[in-house]
């Protein structure tokens, strides 16, 4: 919701105030969805031979990359689960791909078959997941967020600390307050080209 608002307040209005859902092609998301489901079963030690054999070439390539990733091979704590946190008057939450650890060092994993966010440190997903995991795990030596970028075959790691915690809390409260007080939902003229609301939007 926050990312939609940042992309265009008017789009946020259509989607979350008026509850208008526009049809979108799911093709672009299919690979990501399958790899995420498989990754979750694998971490939970569920037998996946039959699902693996049904993958197409491009899905198999991405899946093999994930299986070789050193973070994905760490000790498993939890996968595909929802966490939430209350900041000021706002409840924030999300669904994490996985949390793994090496002794008392914990890592939130996020598998990306597409691109990672442009500003990963201050992406709402990064900020919310780290704050939620900080509250959930409590006694850790270190906590990091790892974007596993399967497209570019690299990991992007953000290490959490008290300074970031303070910044994240302030930033998220400020965004939520802005959304909460907005009554105009003006467009920001940036992202109309591929917007699915283009046909009903007067802009
Ligand atoms: S068409 Fe443009 S202004 Fe309208 S909702 Fe989409 S992004 Fe916003």
| Ligand 1 atom nearest 190 alpha carbon | 7
- Answer yes or no: are the C-beta atoms of 152 and 163 closer than 8 Å: no
Residue 202 covered by a domain: no
Q: Look-up: residue for tokens 């992309």?
A: 7
| pLDDT score for 102 | 98
Look at ligand 1, atom 7, and give the residue with the nearest C-alpha.
192
52 C-alpha vs ligand 1 centroid, how far in Å? Answer: 39
- Give how many domains the chain has, as a whole number: 1
Residue 159 covered by a domain: yes
| Ligand 1 atom nearest 191 alpha carbon | 7
Domain interval for residue 176: 2-181
Residue 189 covered by a domain: no
The 3-state DSSP class for residue 163 equals: helix
Q: Does position 32 have pLDDT exceeding 80, yes or no?
A: yes
Indicate which CATH number applies to the domain containing 115. Answer: 3.90.320
| pLDDT score for 202 | 78
DSSP states of 25-83:
--HHHHHHHHHHHHHHHHHTT---HHHHHT--HHHHHHHHHHHH-TTTTSEEEEEEEEE
pLDDT digits (tens, 9 = 90+) for 121-133: 999 999 999 999 9
26: confidence class by pLDDT, cuts 50, 70, 90: confident
Residue 191 covered by a domain: no
Residue 190 covered by a domain: no
Look at ligand 1, atom 1, and give the residue with the nearest C-alpha.
198
Question: Which residues line the pocket of ligand 1, CB cutoff 6 A?
Answer: 8, 10-11, 14, 187, 191-192, 195, 197-198, 201, 203
53 C-alpha vs ligand 1 centroid, how far in Å? Answer: 41
| Ligand 1 atom nearest 13 alpha carbon | 5
Q: Does position 28 have pLDDT exceeding 70, yes or no?
A: no
Residue 161 covered by a domain: yes
Residue 196 covered by a domain: no
Q: Look-up: residue for tokens 């793994």?
A: 100
pLDDT digits (tens, 9 = 90+) for 146-194: 999 999 999 999 999 999 999 999 999 999 999 999 999 988 766 788 8
Put simply, whether the predicted model's pTM sits higher than 0.85 gets the answer yes
pLDDT digits (tens, 9 = 90+) for 49-107: 998 898 899 999 999 999 999 999 999 999 999 999 999 999 999 999 999 999 999 99
Angle between helices 27-43 and 57-68 (to 10 degrees): 40
Residue 188 covered by a domain: no
């Amino acid at each position: 919701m926050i990312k939609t608002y940042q992309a265009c307040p008017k789009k946020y209005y259509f989607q979350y105030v008026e509850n208008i859902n526009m049809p979108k092609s799911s093709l672009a998301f299919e690979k990501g969805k399958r790899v995420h489901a498989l990754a979750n079963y694998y971490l939970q030690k569920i037998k996946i031979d039959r699902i693996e054999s049904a993958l197409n070439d491009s899905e198999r390539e991405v899946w093999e990359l994930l299986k070789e990733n050193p973070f994905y091979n760490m000790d498993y704590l939890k996968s595909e689960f929802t966490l939430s946190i209350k900041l000021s008057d706002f409840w924030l939450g999300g669904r994490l791909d996985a949390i793994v650890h090496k002794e008392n060092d914990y890592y939130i994993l996020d598998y990306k078959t597409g691109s990672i966010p442009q500003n990963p440190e201050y992406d709402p997903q990064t900020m919310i997941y780290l704050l939620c995991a900080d509250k959930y795990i409590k006694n850790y030596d270190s906590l990091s967020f790892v974007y596993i970028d399967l497209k570019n075959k690299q990991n992007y790691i953000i290490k959490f600390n008290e300074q970031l915690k303070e910044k994240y809390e302030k930033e998220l409260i400020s965004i939520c307050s802005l959304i909460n007080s907005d009554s105009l939902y003006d467009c920001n003229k940036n992202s109309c080209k591929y917007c699915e609301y283009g046909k009903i939007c007067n802009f």
